């Protein structure tokens, strides 16, 4: 694939095994992020409504964060996407738990669990992405 974008003298070959490993790690990162977000709600006694709305809130928050951004050059949208995704998970979990009939104090506690679960999932997903980057860079030389 890199042959289309580089001169022949600098051609690097990435094996099919490397691409498959990268795909597997990317899938694993997505699974980590999904499970960590749900576990943050469920570990504190949250309901399915809370988990579902935390997931939906994190998606909406991430999209809003991408467009809102923070005033940091180059990585501002990335930082905002992570922060707003966590905030969306918090708001979604609180809304879901209140809808399920839980008191404000418990709903907010579960919301914090959703926020920290989302951030942990993002960290685990980032680690998988870093491993993919290293894997591809190493594959250029071997």
Q: Where are the domains of the chain?
A: 14-137
Q: Are 115 and 86 in contact (CB under 8 A)?
A: yes
pLDDT in tens, 79-130: 898 999 999 999 999 999 999 889 999 999 999 999 999 999 999 999 999 9
Residue 52, judged by CB atoms within 10 A of its CB (0-12, 13-18, 19+), counts as middle
pTM: 0.80
From first CA to last CA, the distance across the chain in angstroms is 17
Rounded Cα–Cα distance for residues 100 and 82 (Å): 27
Packing angle, helices 104-141 and 48-68, rounded to 10: 60
């Amino acid at each position: 694939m890199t042959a289309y974008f580089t001169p022949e003298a600098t051609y690097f070959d990435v094996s099919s095994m490397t691409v498959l490993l990268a795909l597997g790690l990317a899938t694993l990162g997505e699974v980590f992020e999904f499970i960590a977000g749900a576990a943050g709600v469920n570990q504190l006694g949250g309901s399915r409504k809370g988990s579902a709305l935390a997931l939906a809130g994190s998606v909406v928050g991430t999209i809003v964060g991408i467009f809102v951004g923070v005033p940091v050059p180059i990585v501002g949208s990335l930082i905002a996407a992570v922060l707003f995704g966590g905030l969306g998970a918090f708001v979604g979990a609180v809304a879901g738990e209140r809808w399920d009939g839980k008191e404000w104090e418990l709903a907010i506690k579960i919301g914090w669990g959703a926020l920290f679960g989302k951030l942990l999932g993002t960290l685990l997903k980032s680690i998988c992405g870093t491993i993919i980057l290293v894997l591809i860079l190493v594959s250029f030389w071997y």
